[in-house]
């Protein structure tokens, strides 16, 4: 590794030219990477609800629907609006009362089914069927075109409209997130590093890594908007400490070598070995997320694991090249830092280590209880501002038409119409059903079959399937809705064993079940992976146990805060935050433990060794923790998207909690367990405990 380090140092201009040229394909890749705003598309393909969506798309050309409410408008003008909407590219058709009967017929004498479906006191409802799924660019553009047709008396609701508003909000705010994170991180680095120029050098090198990461996302075809919104900020926070490790090692090596190239070469070599364990554990944590059955985990996990890898490469190539090229400027603008020497902190946590262990034990149980009992939400619309057009329309649909979600039932064409009528009768009796619309229900004495246009039949019966539209009073992801779905599915299966129920409610119900199992799987895999890597790094059975316990305490404290504050959190928080916080905290834990082991090997007693370890590690840990905090807290403050705001707040809070646990609780745990660690570790060093304790107490 020394040869590699010296090569980078001596050929720094060439390294930087190559690194800069590689930004060009990265920028191209960024521009071509698609962004997915529909979380439900990440559900496994083998689920009935997902198969149902595919049938709606392939057979009925209606995997996406919209509900349009028009207030205080005469029927002839509603018809004009309907005709304009139907002509929009991406719209399959628009269903309204005129498809069944002439609009000259007063609505008061219409069949009850049609009145119930299409009218309220001062408004009417139109159902829009799109040709493509909700997240399709064609459907998204159709939403824009439809809105341009409508006036202030009209309200367009549905998943496609929600996704469009989500996209616009995310696209508008993501550049602000990154800018704010960079500005706040720069301020912290200027205050905590000894050069005014060095923070900009570090952030530029991380910028290279971020651009490489986003550019190579093209290999996945697309990424989720959550990943797009948070990845840059997370990569900055997670990989920053590697840059600080290199900087501090370089400053140390400059005291050992007169030649700065040699000093940098050795710094690169030693930094590479020291961050190997840290980066591997962080990557392992993110790869554990990628093992989720819900494939948004693969999206976030692979992007972030790749980002950490690029961060390490950039720290070992781009950063040292920039540091040597701008060496004079770095030294010219040097200043003092706001950080103390931390001798007092080191003495405090070492002398009173039993008190801090007791505090950790007392906090553990309430933190564990709070983390396990958080209220979780699964609905995308709950993460959006109330004044967005789609949310205003959704509220209108709920208030005026008592409709919260729409289920789509699919049964075989071989099921006779009289059986379907019986099935509909049973479904209508299920609690929370507002109304049911089907071809079979329209047929009756007040509306003979020959009165119904052929086009209407095609909307409900096509290929091998018959479709039934079921409108529910309940909101997706609620206990009431999930119980309702179970009852409807049992009724459908009674009449057709291969029948299926799909729609937002059924998809979200499946999402809940999968997220719960994913949470357990990710936590188990990430813990086992980190345990294995720490075991290899320290060749110890006991150290992984103590470090993971400290990390779990930090995660439990962080995740319990929403419970005690009475806040709900997005379903993905429990899965993602644990891995992100684990990845960041393990870096701090490994840094402190490595220094403690080094001082033990130098012949110091465990108390003096820990005092030195805390004093020398605190600056790096606090600088990294504070920078991670400020780079994410800004997003938490300004974001208008609840899911992004909530995740950012937990990540920011976790950075501070992790810093506190590693500097206050972990030292005591390592001191108290040092004898056991020595027995269960290879190459721990011969520590003279009694001599060290006497020397420490006589200080």
Q: Which residues contact 83 (CB under 8 A, 6 or more apart)?
A: none
Q: How many residues make up the chain in this entry?
A: 699
- Domains of the chain (ranges; CATH) run 1-32+193-338 (1.20.1640.10), 47-167+386-475 (no CATH), 339-379+508-699 (1.20.1640.10)
In whole angstroms, give the CA distance from residue 250 to residue 231: 29
SS (H, E, C) 389-406: HHHHHHHHHHHHHCCCEE
Comparing 311-325, 356-370, 391-405, 555-569, which segment has the lowest mean pLDDT?
A: 391-405
> Which residue would you say has higher pLDDT here, 98 or 696?
98
| Mean pLDDT to the nearest integer, 432-440 | 85
Task: Give, for 681, the enclosing helix (H) or strand (E).
Answer: none
> Which residue would you say has higher pLDDT here, 144 or 475?
144
pLDDT tens per residue across span 634-689: 889 888 888 888 889 999 999 999 999 999 999 999 999 999 999 999 878 654 44
pTM of the prediction?
Answer: 0.80
Comparing 64-73, 322-331, 398-407, 446-455, which segment has the lowest mean pLDDT?
A: 446-455
What is the per-residue pLDDT for 381? 64
Residue 453 has pLDDT above 80, yes or no: no
User: In Å, how far from its chain's centre is CA 693?
Assistant: 47
Residue 32 has pLDDT above 60, yes or no: yes
DSSP 237-255: HHHHHHHHHHHHHHHHHHT
Residues facing residue 66 across a β-bridge: 128
Say if strands 568-570 and 119-120 run parallel, antiparallel, or are unpaired. Answer: unpaired
Task: Give, for 501, the enclosing helix (H) or strand (E).
Answer: strand 500-503
Name, of 247-251, 422-426, 432-436, 645-649, the range with top average pLDDT.
422-426
Give the count of beta carbons closer than 10 Å to the beta carbon of residue 76: 9
Q: Specify burial of residue 482 (Cβ count, 10 A radius: 0-12, 13-18, 19+).
A: middle
Name, of 7-11, 570-574, 630-634, the range with top average pLDDT.
7-11
| Mean pLDDT to the nearest integer, 33-37 | 87
Cα dist from 462 to 59, 458, 671, whole Å: 7, 6, 72
Residue 369 has pLDDT above 50, yes or no: yes
Closest CA to 500 of 468, 459, 462, 539: 468
In whole angstroms, give the CA distance from residue 392 to residue 433: 22
| Mean pLDDT to the nearest integer, 164-174 | 87
What is the per-residue pLDDT for 445? 53
Task: Give, for 64, the enclosing helix (H) or strand (E).
Answer: strand 64-71
Closest CA to 211 of 203, 221, 201, 220: 203
Q: Phi, psi (5° rounding) for residue 338?
A: -80, -10
> Which residue would you say has higher pLDDT here, 353 or 471?
353
**Residue 291 — pLDDT band, cuts 50, 70, 90?**
confident
**% pLDDT > 70, the chain:** 95
**Residue 1 — pLDDT band, cuts 50, 70, 90?**
low
Mean pLDDT of the chain: 87
Residue 275 has pLDDT above 50, yes or no: yes
Both tokens of 21, joined, read: 């040229």
SS (H, E, C) 274-336: HHHHHHHHHHHHHHHHCCCCCCHHHHHHHHHHHHHHHHHHHHHCHHHHHHHHCHHHHHHCECC
Q: Which residues contact 401 (CB under 8 A, 6 or more apart)?
A: 67, 69, 120, 125, 434, 471
> Which residue would you say has higher pLDDT here, 133 or 558?
558
**Residue 471 — pLDDT band, cuts 50, 70, 90?**
confident
Cα dist from 699 to 347, 351, 604, 651, 692, whole Å: 11, 12, 13, 40, 11
What is the per-residue pLDDT for 106? 80
pLDDT tens per residue across span 216-270: 999 998 899 888 888 888 888 778 888 988 998 898 888 888 899 999 999 999 8
Both tokens of 25, joined, read: 């394909």
In whole angstroms, give the CA distance from residue 194 to residue 338: 9
What is the per-residue pLDDT for 454? 62
What is the per-residue pLDDT for 658? 95
Give the count of beta carbons closer than 10 Å to the beta carbon of residue 341: 11
Name, of 67-81, 182-196, 216-230, the range with top average pLDDT.
67-81
What is the per-residue pLDDT for 691? 46
What is the per-residue pLDDT for 68? 94
| Mean pLDDT to the nearest integer, 546-559 | 94
Residue 157 has pLDDT above 70, yes or no: yes
Residue 99 has pLDDT above 60, yes or no: yes
């Amino acid at each position: 590794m020394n040869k590699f380090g010296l090569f980078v140092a001596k050929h720094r201009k060439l390294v930087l030219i190559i690194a800069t040229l590689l930004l060009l394909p990265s920028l191209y890749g960024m521009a071509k990477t698609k962004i997915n705003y529909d979380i439900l598309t990440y559900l496994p393909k083998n689920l009935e609800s997902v198969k149902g969506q595919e049938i709606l798309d392939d057979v009925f050309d209606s995997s996406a629907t919209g509900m349009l409410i028009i207030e205080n408008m005469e029927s002839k003008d509603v018809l004009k609006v309907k005709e304009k909407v139907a002509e929009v590219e991406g719209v399959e058709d628009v269903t309204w009362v005129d498809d069944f009967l002439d609009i000259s017929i007063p609505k008061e004498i219409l069949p009850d089914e049609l009145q119930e479906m299409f009218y309220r006191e001062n408004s009417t409802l139109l159902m829009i069927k799109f040709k493509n799924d909700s997240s399709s660019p064609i459907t998204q553009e159709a939403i824009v075109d439809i809105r341009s047709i409508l006036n202030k008396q009209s309200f367009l609701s549905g998943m496609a409209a929600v996704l469009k508003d989500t996209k616009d909000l995310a696209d508008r705010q993501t550049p602000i997130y990154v800018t704010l994170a960079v500005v706040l991180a720069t301020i912290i680095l200027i205050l905590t590093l000894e050069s005014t120029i060095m923070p900009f050098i570090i952030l530029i090198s991380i910028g290279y890594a971020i651009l490489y990461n986003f550019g190579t996302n093209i290999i996945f075809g697309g990424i989720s908007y959550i990943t797009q919104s948070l990845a840059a900020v997370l990569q900055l926070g997670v990989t920053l400490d590697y840059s600080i490790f290199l900087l501090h090692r370089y400053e140390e090596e400059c005291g050992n070598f007169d030649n700065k190239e040699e000093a940098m070469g050795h710094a690169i070599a030693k930094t590479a070995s020291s961050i190997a364990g840290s980066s591997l554990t962080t990557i392992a944590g993110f790869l554990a997320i990628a093992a989720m059955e819900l494939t948004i985990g693969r999206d976030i996990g692979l992007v972030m694991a790749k980002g950490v890898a690029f961060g390490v490469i950039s720290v070992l190539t781009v950063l040292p090249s920039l540091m040597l090229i701008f060496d004079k400027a770095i030294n010219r603008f040097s200043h003092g830092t706001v950080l103390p020497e931390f001798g007092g902190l080191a003495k405090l946590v070492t002398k009173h280590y039993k008190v801090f262990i007791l505090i950790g034990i007392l906090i553990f149980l309430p933190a564990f209880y709070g983390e396990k009992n958080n209220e979780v939400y699964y609905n995308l619309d709950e993460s959006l501002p109330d004044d967005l057009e789609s949310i205003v329309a959704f509220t209108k649909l709920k208030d005026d038409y008592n409709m919260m979600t729409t289920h789509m039932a699919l049964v075989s064409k071989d099921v006779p119409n009289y059986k379907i009528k019986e099935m509909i009768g049973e479904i209508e009796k299920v609690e929370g059903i507002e109304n049911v619309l089907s071809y079979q229900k329209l047929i009756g004495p007040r509306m003979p079959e020959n009165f119904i246009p052929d086009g209407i039949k095609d909307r409900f019966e096509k290929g091998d399937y018959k479709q039934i539209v079921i409108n529910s009073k309940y909101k997706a992801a609620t206990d009431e809705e999930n119980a309702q779905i179970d009852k409807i599915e049992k009724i459908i299966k009674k009449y057709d064993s291969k029948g299926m129920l799909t729609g937002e409610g059924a998809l979200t119900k499946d999402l809940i079940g999968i997220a719960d199992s994913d949470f357990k799987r990710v936590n188990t895999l990430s813990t086992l992976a980190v345990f294995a890597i720490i075991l290899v790094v320290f060749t110890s059975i006991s150290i992984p146990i103590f470090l993971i316990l400290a990390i779990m305490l930090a995660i439990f404290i962080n995740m319990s805060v929403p419970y005690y504050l009475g806040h709900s959190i997005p379903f993905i928080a429990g899965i993602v935050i644990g891995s992100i916080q684990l990845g960041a905290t393990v870096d701090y834990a490994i840094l402190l433990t490595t220094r403690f082991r080094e001082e033990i090997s130098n012949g110091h007693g465990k108390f003096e060794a820990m005092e030195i370890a805390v004093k020398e590690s605190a600056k790096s840990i606090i600088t990294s923790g504070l920078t991670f905090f400020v780079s994410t807290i800004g997003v938490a403050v300004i974001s208008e998207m609840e899911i992004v705001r909530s995740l950012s707040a937990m990540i920011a809070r976790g950075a501070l909690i992790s810093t506190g646990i590693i500097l206050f609780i972990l030292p005591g745990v390592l001191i108290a367990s040092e004898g056991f660690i020595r027995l269960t570790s290879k190459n721990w060093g011969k520590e003279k405990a009694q001599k060290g304790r006497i020397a420490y107490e006589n200080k």
